[in-house]
């Protein structure tokens, strides 16, 4: 009888070919062993210099995946056409963290030229920012194997990114379009526990406009948003624990101490209000759900070698 045992190197090659058909944990284990640690160090250094960069990287991941899928289309300055890219769209003008992605990409190109996609760097960076901002409490594996897209349109960003005034049904519909259910939507909204917002994004909820916002909280926001020069000030999205990724956001929702209409909308149904209460008061529940939701979001619209590429520079197509 013939020996049916495969040599180890052949087995690894077969396993690698299977992994390449979709996302997998440890995707770069053999092609660029230090890929994830290089990204993590870049994120760690950036957050050490400016804590707000971490919130920016989580938001960057979200804004990438919701437009054209998780394909680094949000990073492009140009695609060679006259049409403005996603970065020129109003919701993306306040995005940050591009420099962190570029720094990680440059180091990866030195170590493993043409191997690690910008899309995977964005996904790893979002995961790593979550890890550091949560005090290492939210730790999870991020599958990889994404290719970079070649399409980036400002009009697509405007059509696909949930606005701060979105109703509950609009939120459900926009998340569902990306393969994310209502619980994913409520869970990912918890990322508003870190970061800052421009006052113009929620001015419609401040007096003299009517809203369900706590009056004392509204007065504090108005004081912080008032500028003699007319500047569009920024304020923390979570006044209680502004620099920590935790479940405080959900207690803020229940207390009517949130900035956006889309935050307040989570109380608009018994179903979502129940999820808010569970996340607010069940220790560890939101953290566990956030890990799963980040991975699930990271599978949206993934490109392969047939409709994508591995960019040499993250801000331009090859």
The catalytic site residues sit at 63
Give the whole-angstrom CA distance, residue 136 versus residue 128: 9
**Rounded distance between C-alpha atoms, residue 33 and residue 134, angstroms:** 26
Cβ neighbour number for residue 250 with a 10 Å cutoff: 28
Q: In this structure, are residues 125 and 37 in contact, taking their beta carbons and an 8 Å threshold?
A: no
Burial of 80 (0-12, 13-18, 19+ CB in 10 A): exposed
Taking the C-alpha atoms of residue 128 and residue 124, their distance in angstroms, rounded to an integer, is 6
- Contacts of range 280-283, beta carbons closer than 8 Å, 24 or more positions apart: 280/247, 280/250, 280/251, 280/253, 280/254
Opening angle at CA 117, ends 116 and 119, nearest 5: 140
Greatest Cα pair distance, the chain, in angstroms, is 88
Compute and round to an integer the Cα radius of gyration of the chain. 21
Q: Which residues, 6 or more positions from 205, have their beta carbon under 8 angstroms from its beta carbon?
A: 211, 213, 218, 259, 260, 261, 264
Query: What does the chain come to in residues?
Result: 318
């Amino acid at each position: 009888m013939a020996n049916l045992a495969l040599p180890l190197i052949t087995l690894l090659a077969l396993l690698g070919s299977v992994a390449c058909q979709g996302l997998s944990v440890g995707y770069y284990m053999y092609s660029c062993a230090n890929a994830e640690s290089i990204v993590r160090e870049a994120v760690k250094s950036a957050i050490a210099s400016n804590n707000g960069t971490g919130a920016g990287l989580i938001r960057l991941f979200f804004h990438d995946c919701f437009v054209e899928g998780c394909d680094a289309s949000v990073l492009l300055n140009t695609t060679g056409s006259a049409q403005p890219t996603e970065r020129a769209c109003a919701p993306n003008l306040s995005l940050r963290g591009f420099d962190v992605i570029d720094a990680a990409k440059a180091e990866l190109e030195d170590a493993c030229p043409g191997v690690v996609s910008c899309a995977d760097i964005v996904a790893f960076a979002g995961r790593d920012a979550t890890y550091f901002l949560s005090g290492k409490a939210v730790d999870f594996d991020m599958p990889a194997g994404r290719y970079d897209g070649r399409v980036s349109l400002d009009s697509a960003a405007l059509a696909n990114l949930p606005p701060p005034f979105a109703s509950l049904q609009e939120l459900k519909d926009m998340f569902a379009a990306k393969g994310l259910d209502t619980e994913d939507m409520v869970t990912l909204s918890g990322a508003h526990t870190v970061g800052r917002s421009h006052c113009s994004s929620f001015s419609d909820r401040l007096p003299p406009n009517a809203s369900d916002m706590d009056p004392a909280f509204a007065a504090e926001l108005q004081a912080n948003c008032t500028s003699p020069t007319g500047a569009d000030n920024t304020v923390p999205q979570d006044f209680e624990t502004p620099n920590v990724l935790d479940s405080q956001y959900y207690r803020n929702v229940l207390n009517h101490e949130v900035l956006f209409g889309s935050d307040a909308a989570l109380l608009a149904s018994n179903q979502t209000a129940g999820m808010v209460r569970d996340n607010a008061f069940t220790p560890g529940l939101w953290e566990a759900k956030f890990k799963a939701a980040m991975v699930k979001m990271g599978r949206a619209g993934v490109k392969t070698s047939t409709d994508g590429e591995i960019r040499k520079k993250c801000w331009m197509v090859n």
